[in-house]
Structure 1
Amino acid sequence: MERYDYFRQFHDISPADYGQLTDHLQQRSFKKGEMIVVPGQTQRDLYFVKSGVQMAYADAGDKTYVIDFSYTPFLCAIAESFSFQVPSKYFLTCLTDSELEYLSYEQLQILLDQSQSIERLFRRLIEGMLADMVDLHINLRAMTIEERYRSFCRRNPQLLQLVPHKYIASYLGIDPTNFSKLFNQVKL
């Protein structure tokens, strides 16, 4: 899906406003395993994924807790760090080689002040992200592990080939051994 079409799912942004937003994007490449943000670092740029897969996560001792995955056409950020310009509590890393476009926090604020349409787009994007987080929170408590696995596979089938299964298991709150069983036994 093209980024413009993705954005229009949230707000019917005009081609002119979309151009105003994308004219300010700069490009950055990251290698697989490269960190975008680490705990204690403030995320100064908002990334728009062109290619690759990224993962936000927290480490607690010897355990990794996956918060989210990003890939095209989504945004890539530690939302709290970027939105409030505070040090991150989490890691943001590239699981594959990645091409990202970005806007600085300051540049985004200028665009939000200049265009009600861009401001509305970002408000709706944030509302969508919040709704997805609430759904995930409820699903982790209300669904069986097989239901969580099936739901993830319906929404993100491409990630099964791109992301190490231990990270998907963590994201879904499933023990890696049980995830492996589901992967090998559940027919989608």
Structure 2
Amino acid sequence: MSSTPSQPPPATGPSAQSDPATFAHIENYISTRCNASPIYAFLFNPGLKLTHASKGLIIARLPVTANHLNSSGSIHGSVSATIVDWAGGLAIAAWDLREATGVSVDINISYLSGAKLGDEIEIEGKIEKVGGSLAFTHVNIYKVNPADGTRGATVANGRHTKFAPGPRAGPSSQDWFMAAIAAAALGDRAGLILAGAMN
């Protein structure tokens, strides 16, 4: 993944390229659903600024605080991983303005450089693919150049896959997912057939 600097959207408010409806939806999603999660509220409040939202893409900025640091004074790997989780979910919400973004199936992350207390990072979450049941996202975390506000070095990048089926009639996606998990765990052929029927 290239870390070539590029000019980001403004630090506050929607950028010119944002879709107003998507921006409003993501702002509301952050203030309600995300802030209801204690870990997100702890890491992102105060200071998080959404700067862009369009179909399948969100960009936000966050100042690095003491809550984000490891014992060496750099951004903790678990914080970067949580950011990947958070931004991947928001990219899914930005795809079609859905209210629920499903459950995580897989997260992987590469750590490329650090960020220290007082630095600002830019978070970019984008959709790679949304299928019938799975959504694939890519998240980049950049350090912001303090001199001019442009993107600097890539701090980390990751991929986040979620079980995130769209709206469907009949049994809920949660019911289908739990039935499939139970069937797989038990090696239950009948259960797998049932799960498929529910789907």
The TM-score normalised by the length of structure 1 is: 0.29
Compare the two structures and name the one with the higher helix fraction: 1
Compare the two structures and name the one with the higher strand fraction: 2
| Larger RCO (alpha carbons 8 Å, 6+ apart) | 1
